Each structure stands twice: as C-alpha cells, then as structure tokens.
Chains A and B, each alone.
Chain A
Amino acid sequence: MTAVMGTKMLRKEDPALLVGENKFIDDIHAPGELWMGMIRSTMAHAKINSIDTSEAEAMPGVVAVYTGEQLAEMGLWLAPLPCAWPVTEDIVNPPHNPVAVGEAKHVGDIVAVVLCNDRYGAADAAEKVVVDYDPLPAVGSLEAAVANTAMAHSDLETNKAFHWPLVPDPEGTEKAFAEAAHTVKAKFIQQRMIPSPMEPRGCMAIPSPAGGDITFYSATQVPHILKVMIAATTGIPESKIRVIAPSVGGGFGGKLNVDPDAILSVTLANHLGVPVRWTETRTEAAGSSHQGRGQIQHMEVAADENGKISSVRVHIDADMGAYMMLITPGVPLLGSFLYTGVYDIPNLAFTCDGHFTNLTPTDAYRGAGRPEASYAIERIMDMLAAEVGITPEEIRARNYINGGEAFENHEAASTLVFDSGHYRPAHDRALEMVKIDELRAEQARRRDAGEAKQLGIGMCSYVEICGLAPSRALGGLNYGAGGWEHATVRMLPTGKIEVVSGSTPHGQGHETAWSMIIADKMGVDPNDVEVLHSDTAKSPLGLDTYGSRSLAVGGVAIAMAADKVIEKAKLIAAHQFEAAPEDVQFEAGAFSVAGTPSKSVHIQELGFAAFAAHDLPDGMEPNLQEQVSFDPPNFAFPFGTHACVVEIDTETGGVELIDYVAVDDCGHQVNPMIVEGQLHGGIVQGVAQALFEEAVYDEDGNINNPSFMDYLVPSAMEVPSMQLDYTVTPSTSNPLGVKGAGEAGTIGSAAAVMNAVCDALSPYGVKDMDMPATPKRIWEAIHSNANNSNGGAA
C-alpha cells in the first residue's frame, strides 16, 4: 500500500456540502421551538431607565419578553459570562451579564430578549420593545480609553484592565538602546477586524424537562469548552449537558466564545421547557460577535551600524472592548513572544496594557496576537533597512536566527524555545518566485518615467507559535485550561475504524486528514475510517480547534492512539500465530512472522477476534480501542517568507495586489491540498486587513459599517491568484513532525502587503501608512503626507 499522507487526497467532507445535504445550525429545527430576538443597545454607554415590553408582548406568537433586570431576578445563571484567561492576579474584570442590567456598555449589548414561535415574529416583536436610555460618556476608541477621561464602566476609576510585562532583561534593553548605532521607532495601529465567517452564529437549546438533560446545538468551534463553561455559568450539571456543533460555516476565531446567546438559550429553554433558538443576522454580528485585533503598538528596535538588531522594545495598548470574553486579555500575550520574529535578537522588552472601551468586545481572530506581532517586527524591519541604507532582503538576511541556516531548539529572547527552523531557503525561494530583480528594474523604469501607476514590492518573513499548547506553559500564563488533545481509535468488529476526535472542524477537513493519518499508520483504506467529532456525546473529551492546533496536537493524538491499537493487535496476531510478539512484524496493515509467509493477518481481520474475544491472549481485555490525551512538550513554530507586488494608481490612490507568492514551512504535510487551501484563505484575510477591512466606529461608539456593503470582505475581483511553495523542516515538538498551517497565511500577509504599499509610496516621502491602506489614505499620503501614525513626510 502506498503512502496516503503527503498526497492530495480529495476531501471526504465535500460530497455532502456540494449537494446541500449537510446541516448547518439554521437548517436544524425542533418541534415547538421558540425564536429569540435580541433587543440590542443602540447606545455605546447608557443608563437603562426603563424598558417597555408591553407592545412586544402583545404581538402574535410572542411567548415572553425579558429584560436584563427580570432575568437577573429570575436567577437563571450563577455567574456572569466567563473569561478563562485572567492574565494577571489583579486584572479588572467587571461582570458581563448575558443581558445588560442597569447599564448598556456597547452598541449591540443585549438589553432585552423576546421569545416568539416564529422567525419573522421575533424580528417584529424585537422592534416593538421601547428602551429609555440616559446616555453616559462613551469611550469610543482605544485612544480615548488610554486617555482615561471618560470611563467605559461607570463604577471604575480607570479604563485600564491590566498591565502585563515580559521584560526578561531590563538592563540589557537599556544598554542595547544606549549603545545602538541605529534606532527606529514606530507606532502601528491594528484596526478592529470583524471575523466574518460566511455562516453567521446561531444556536438552539433543546431541554428534556423531566430528565433534566439539555442538548445544545451551536455553530461553534469549541463544543467541549462550551460544555464546561455552560455548566460553570448556569449550574446545570456538566453531565446533563450535551453540546453538538453541526456543520459549522467557518470560524476564524469568531466562533470560539461563550456568548450571551448560549447562556440565554440554554437557561430559557430549561426555564420554559421548550427548545429555544437564535440565528444571528450579519448586521447584528457587527455588535454581537467579538472582533479581532484592536491594538496600538509602540515599537522600537536598536541595531548596530550594519543593521544587526540588539533589542526590541514594545509596548502595546490593547482594546478589550466593553467586556472580557473567553480569552480577550490573553490575545495580545500570544503575540508577545514573537516581537523578535525570525531574528537572532538577544533582548526583548514587552509590556501590554489592556483597556476597556465602549465597543464590541475583542477576542481571537485568525492568528490572535501573532499577526499583530509579525506585522510590527516586519514593518519595522523595512524601516530599519531604509535607515541603514540596505534592501529589505538584506536587513533580514543579516538578522536571521543562525544566519538563516537550519537550527533546532533555539531559545529566543522571550525565553520560548523555537522547535526548529531554517529561514533562508524560504527567503531565497520567495524572492526568486516573485522575480525580485525584474520587479525592481520595472519599478525603477516606472519611477523614472513618472508613470501614474507605480509598483511596490514587499516581503515578510514570519514565524508563529501554534499547536496550542503545552498545558504547563498555559498554566504559567494564567490560562484557565490545559492544551492537550484527546483521541480514541477503535477497530469495529467488521474491521472498519472509528476515530473519535477532540479537535472540532469548521471547514478544515479533519475527517479527511485524520483518515489519512490512520490509513498510513494502520495500513487501511482511508474510506474504512469514520471520524466522529463535534458532539460531546460521541467525543466526550477534547479541547477543540483554534490556534492552528488541530493537527499538531489532535492529529498527533490520533496517530499515537493508532500506535496503541496496533500494539494490542500485534499481541492478538502473535497469539494466533503462536509466535512471540517480538517476532511479529507489522507492515502495510498486515502482521506476519518473519520468514513464515503463510502466517499473515491483516489488522482489520483482527477486529472481529478482539470483539468476539473467543481466543485472546490470557488476561487481555476484549476489543481494540485505545485512547490518548496528548499534551505537547512544546509549541510548534511554522515560518516562511511571503512576497507580493502592488500597483498603485498615484492619481486616484487605487491599489491593486497584482502578485502574491508564499513559501511556507509547516513541517511535514498530511494533505498538501488542504495546506494550500488554508494558506490561500489565510493570506487573503491578511490582505483584507492590509487593504480592505476595518470596523469603523465614531467617537460615540457607533459602528459605521455593520453590513457587508460597507465592511469590505474582498471578492474574487480584489485578490490575485497566488503562487505557493514550501520547505519542510519537521517540528521536534511531536512525533509526526508537523506544525500548523491555519493561521500562517494571515500572519505573513498583512505585513508583506503593507511593505509593498509603503515601498511604492517611498518616492513620495511616505514612510508608513495605517491599515487598511484605502485609496483615500493613499491619495492623501501622496498629496499631503498626513494620514498615518508615523507621519508621512520624509
């Protein structure tokens, strides 16, 4: 049997999706279901004087209308919505009620909820609830939060939630900056991003009033975490809760939270004894789905006369939004370890302040902390190159860890140990693929000719931390859970194989990838493998999917469980052969005795023997089923170099991405087709941050672009085809040698695009530009050198 891993096997998930047969959350119904309609605050910060629900209550089909105050009195939940990552001991974390009580803290904060027997009726009734607000001073931006003139929470005296330092060697930092030949300082703004999976969020809770069980369907990335958190928040025994994630239409971090709708639907379903459901509208998502990024980065590097960097000093102000969600305060910390990038920089001083605003809460969005870090170091590398007077590629070459040669176990200034890396081959290959010399010549020609359309070339060499995570490391960061992943592999009596995955897919193709791992490990047809997942009744243990962890933790757990099944099966085979286990070999699915070809049995044939248990070795338990909880010893550190070309119409400010190349290294690949797809999509999300997307709020905290008409998720017209290539540097953090690929594209692309934009504009004295680089910003930068954090003027 030829190897399956490493091939572009077509996905097992696709047929159902391609004929509309699979079920997303809004496709699933229960008899007697009630629709929740949320009444959301239209003010960023306001005292709720009164809520008149009478007209809504009289609407046809309306069963109940509840205000936050009523719900609080009903005592349906024990605790506010959870934050699992209180990053410091003294973190400020005001209670986050599923429905606001007394004060609304952001536009979109739920202030009341209607329950109606009809989707349309719920929308109608929600419109009829009249809320009387007294506006309070609102903190409408991160800058305003830092200024601390108005308070996002009226009962607090500061907007600051925490201060988190990672300053291993402060004297070293001082010394490095004092002795530097070159220092470069910049301020970068990571605008708020709306994760925008194509499927909006949604959920449905189905109670069983007599038995006390509750089945909760949710378009979630994290059914296992939800189960624990629903129990902890509501007091419903965890053993009574079953969480099912049906087909989930993308997540990108946006579906890893414990949102108000989850607690409301579960508790109201229990209270009323009928199913309660909710489907988010896209417009509603702008205020109710958590957002990503939202940081101001103050970044400095110190370097010698050749541009060799001796220290990075960075302070981040991070926008929490109005409340701490599940991992809100931890997101910037995930980036803290990466501000030295792929470079051999001996010193790092990182501090982060978290601040409350009266804006939609923030939390993880594809890359979560790492794209921000990668952006800051990779933008400032270009600035340093300009300062030193060398090319962007040269400044990188001079600073790569181990001179760009292969390494293992590199301890970075952050004290994290990078598992493995080999940075120069990706760098060289990316520049070759993008044809850097030809581009520079064409760029020079256009500049000399004064053409309206100018070229910019940008690159980014990134490293990221994925495979979240070693549980001890998470504990050290005050994270409220571990980072292991669980897997079970069982051989059924008929020889078919069931794999139970604690990782929870929402588009990644786990069923295919896990089948491929089993196929290779066990020498079976991947179509003989069924993967069970996303239902806590089928997969009781797991920590789900985020942080590019599925393969590097969950996939590895599956491979390890398969090894254990093979080990046990080998004992059965040896027993049947009447041979010593050490004389039995396993190849391509078959056990045999060396030198005795007649004695051979396929592992799938042993399924029945293990099940019937008529003749097992003495003392052996029946059945072939093994489980593993894999807790990785270290993170995995994927890396790569991206390069791209933009064409800027200097008359209009229009910008077009005309070429994009990426050379990524995620270690060994299980299915290169899936890796490629992850990179394509990841890259475009970073491009979108660079050029298109931003949740725009006015100073009063109103969102100005809550729909897809104004929040510009790019279409096929706005992005080019991409050229991808790979290097393979196996991870030393797991036995498969794999690293993650889900976030890498996003982590590499925003900086590459912005480096290209700034390169194109450098003849106009533009040194930096805030994201997204809109035509208006570009035009203004060319013509007034005003609109960016670092000043445009040369």
Chain B
Amino acid sequence: MEVSITVNGSTHSSDVEPRTLLVHHLRDNIGLTGTNIGCDSSSCGACTIHMNGESVKSCTVLAVQADGQELTTIEGLAAVAESDGTATGDQNWHPMQEAFQNCHALQCGYCTPGMVMASTSFLKENPNPTEEQIREGLEGNLCRCTGYHNIVKAVQSVAGGAS
C-alpha cells in the first residue's frame, strides 16, 4: 500500500507491503542504511530513530504505521542540529555526534547510530540527568564494544554543555 514518509526533511512516497518493517523500508527502499538491525526482539536498540522527535525502535514499527510521520535517522541528525543552531565543530555535527567521537564512545560503530539517536531523544526529555538517569535512558540500547563507560561520558558531556 501507498505510504508517504518524511525522512530527514525529504518526503518519500512508496508502495510497500503492509508487513514491511520501517527499518527495512528505510534501509532497503529509501537507501538510508545508517540505521542498523541487531536483534529480532526489540531488545538491542541498534535501529533507534526519531519519529516526530522521539526515539523509537524502527524494527518494531511497520512502515505503514509511519505513514505521514516525520522521521530523523542518523544521516539527518546533523542537519537537525544545524537548523536549530546547535551544530558544533568542524563537521557541523549534532553535539552528540561530536561527543561520541571526543569521548571514544564507539568502536565498531554498529550500535552507534541507535545509541546516538537514543541519547539525543533522552536528553531532550531530561536535559540535566544524573549518571544513573543516563544509564536508565540507554537501557534499551545494547553495545558490545565499549562497556558503556565512554557512552555515558559522552552523554554527560553534552548534558553538561547544555546546562
């Protein structure tokens, strides 16, 4: 069936099977492969994107449910920061992207898009979190490389910068 989704500011209309998972629609149909798939059970958060500004796991949303919604994926995050005037650094990235690099909060980078999207959504809801709250905010996102230590530091550094 026909769905029309705005992703990173561009509207994509396509005919999809109703069972198409949003993450597959983004990756295989729209070609935005930055969002990754790490599990089958909504446990790992690698597929986290923003729907209408909030984090969702795109493996557990049907493309048809996203019809008419505004999505942001990792590919579009820097542009969001640029448009709201928070972009930083030489790369003009979202501060969270810069913090992830500065704090060495990624290694293989597979969980990273989801982790960054979860972190930015979380900070919007809780701009001045404690370490414990950051860990709670990321409880639905698994990382196998970093032991989370530097991810928490990265989120803290952005939170600190924002307060």
Contact = CB atoms under 8 A, between A and B. Distances in A.
**Real binding pair:** yes
B108 interface: yes
A250 B108 contact: yes
Contacts of A74: none
A447 interface: no
B145 interface: yes
A697 interface: no
Given A19-B97, A683-B147, A716 B27 contact: no
Given A716-B139, A717-B136, A721-B149, A685 B109 contact: no
B131 A250 contact: no
Nearest to A366: B144
A19 B74 contact: yes
A507 B108 contact: yes
B142 interface: yes
B65 interface: no
Given A13-B109, A509-B107, A249 B101 contact: no
Contacts of A20: 32-35, 73-75, 113
Contact of B144 (A22, A247, A252, A283): A252
A707 interface: yes
Nearest to B148: A716
Nearest to A745: B147
B148 to A, nearest CB: 4
Interface in B130-153: 131, 134-136, 138-152
Interface in B109-135: 109-113, 116, 131, 134-135
Contacts of A96: none
A564 interface: no
B38 A199 contact: yes
B106 interface: yes
Interface in B73-98: 73-75, 77-78, 91, 93, 97
A677 B145 contact: yes
A19 B147 contact: no
Interface in A705-742: 707-709, 713, 715-717, 719, 721-722
B24 A196 contact: no
Given A20-B32, A198-B46, A680-B149, A717 B73 contact: no
A196 B149 CA distance: 19
Contacts of B91: 15
Contact of B142 (A247, A508, A674, A708): A708
Contacts of A708: 38-41, 43-44, 142
Contacts of B152: 716, 721
Given A10-B101, A199-B38, A708-B41, A24 B106 contact: no
B29 to A, nearest CB: 11
Interface residues of B, number: 59
A681 B146 contact: yes
Contacts of B140: 715
B2 interface: no
B48 interface: no
Contact of A249 (B33, B40, B108, B151): B108
A250 B110 contact: yes
Interface string B1-44: 00000000000000001011000100110001111111111011
A196 B141 CA distance: 14
Given A247-B109, A250-B110, A18 B44 contact: no
B19 A722 contact: no
Contacts of B107: 250, 507-509, 677-678, 681
A658 to B, nearest CB: 12
B43 A249 contact: no
B33 A17 contact: no
B138 A716 contact: yes
Nearest to A248: B108
B69 interface: no
A716 B134 contact: yes
A784 interface: no
A506 interface: yes
A200 interface: yes
Interface string A1-22: 0000000101101110111111
Interface string A653-682: 000000000000000000001101110111
A423 B138 CA distance: 37
Given A120-B19, A250-B110, A715-B138, A15 B101 contact: yes
A116 to B, nearest CB: 14
A26 interface: yes
B144 A685 contact: yes
A282 interface: yes
B146 to A, nearest CB: 5
Contacts of B110: 24, 197-199, 249-250, 507
B102 interface: yes
Contact of A18 (B20, B43, B116, B148): B116
A90 interface: no
A47 B135 CA distance: 49
Contact of B146 (A21, A249, A680): A680
Contacts of A15: 91, 101
Most buried by A among B20, B33, B74: B33
B115 to A, nearest CB: 10
A508 B150 CA distance: 15
Interface string B41-67: 101101000000000000000000000
Contact of B100 (A18, A681, A683): A18
Given A15-B91, A685-B144, A722-B149, A282 B40 contact: yes
A352 interface: no
Nearest to A676: B104
Interface string A138-176: 000000000000000000000000000000000000000
Interface in A768-784: none
Interface in A738-759: 745
Contacts of B34: 19-21
Given A18-B101, A509-B107, A717-B135, A283 B74 contact: no
A119 interface: yes
Contacts of A685: 144
A791 B153 CA distance: 42
A198 B144 contact: yes
8 contacts: A14-B101, A19-B75, A198-B46, A198-B110, A198-B145, A282-B41, A716-B143, A716-B151
Given A26-B33, A715-B138, 13 more contacts: A14-B100, A20-B33, A20-B74, A24-B36, A26-B27, A197-B110, A198-B46, A199-B36, A707-B40, A708-B38, A708-B44, A709-B43, A716-B143
Closest 7 CB pairs of A and B: A20-B34, A507-B108, A249-B110, A17-B109, A684-B147, A680-B147, A708-B43
